[in-house]
Amino acid sequence: MSADREIHEMTDMTQTDIALLLADAADEVEIGIAPVEAVIRGGRRRRARRWAVATATALVLAGSTGATLAVTGLPGDTGRQAPVASRPSTPEARHVYAPRITEVAHGTDHGTSWRVVVSVWGAPRDWTEAAGQLAAMRKYGIESDALPDSRDLVGKTSYYSGLYYGDGHHRTVLFNTLEKWDPLSGTDLMSAALPLAKGHGDGPERLVVGTVATTARQVRCGWKDGTSTVVEPRAVAGSPVTWFACTAPEGTSYEHAEVLR
């Protein structure tokens, strides 16, 4: 009977009675201080793990190849693709048909102006580009007897040093086609000498043009009369070496050239 009475009494409880009982039970529960430091440490460990994953992802992508790298899921990621520098693809961008030209020296001889320029031509990638480059070199004014066959231009860089004397056509000082530039270091020096004045093919070699390492600061050109001229090399666009030009005084000619420092 007592059990039936208790069940009946519990059935007759209202929602208010149940709420009061729950409140009494809550008053008897002791709530301790939340472990704040432990929570913070746990949060730091989780953030550290997330950054470690992001770093590993970035390192893997940095070692990838391709035109672009897409990095997603990194902090601050906006979904944009970062462009990666690539080698020029068109013949125009590689200076196959129009070279990079730099003036190395200029002056006046017997009232006539002269100047030395260097042009650097990019390497053609196939026979079609090589044929186009050969035609461009002829139009530029490089003598035909100095030019190689177009097939010999494929995959090679060419450089040309020309002398302009007065208003006349330039003459070849140096011309070469190569797969790889000759490494120059220290006091290494390459040079060529020729007459300065126009129409003096057999005259005294008063002009000297050459290349030195980029570390060279001064070049001395010695003349047969015992005098010398000191010049500073200069950078040429497209060339991994620096260039210089010296002219001898009237009445003497080239004997030697050397790097001073």
Per-residue pLDDT tens for 136-151? 999 999 888 889 888 8
Per-residue DSSP letter, 166: T
**pLDDT of amino acid 79:** 46
* Mean pLDDT within 225-230: 96
**pLDDT of amino acid 123:** 96
Percent of the chain past pLDDT 90, that is, above it, reads 51
69 and 106 assigned to the same domain: no
- pLDDT tens digit sequence for 93-129: 999 999 999 999 999 998 899 999 999 999 999 999 9
Assigned domain for 92 exists: no
117 and 217 assigned to the same domain: yes
Assigned domain for 89 exists: no
208 and 158 assigned to the same domain: yes
**pLDDT of amino acid 134:** 95
117 and 56 assigned to the same domain: no
* Mean pLDDT within 171-184: 90
124 and 50 assigned to the same domain: no
Tokens of 68: 């672009």
Per-residue DSSP letter, 81: P
Assigned domain for 91 exists: no
Q: Tell me which of 48, 83, 118 is where a domain ends.
A: 83
CA distance 218 to 188: 12
Q: Which domain, by its residues, includes 67?
A: 2-83
For the chain, how many structural domains are there in total? Answer: 2
CA distance 100 to 149: 22
Give the length of the chain.
Answer: 261
The whole-chain average pLDDT of the chain stands at 75
CA distance 254 to 19: 114
Assigned domain for 136 exists: yes
Nearest alpha-carbon partner for 66 in 82, 88, 77, 90: 82
Give the predicted TM-score (pTM) of the model. 0.64
118 and 175 assigned to the same domain: yes
73 and 159 assigned to the same domain: no
Assigned domain for 242 exists: yes
Determine contact, residues 181/157, Cβ cutoff 8 Å: yes
**pLDDT of amino acid 199:** 61
105 and 194 assigned to the same domain: yes
152 and 42 assigned to the same domain: no
**Among 25-29, 75-79, 116-120, whose mean pLDDT is lowest?**
75-79
* Mean pLDDT within 4-14: 46
Q: How confident is the model at residue 168 (pLDDT cuts 50, 70, 90)?
A: confident
Assigned domain for 93 exists: no
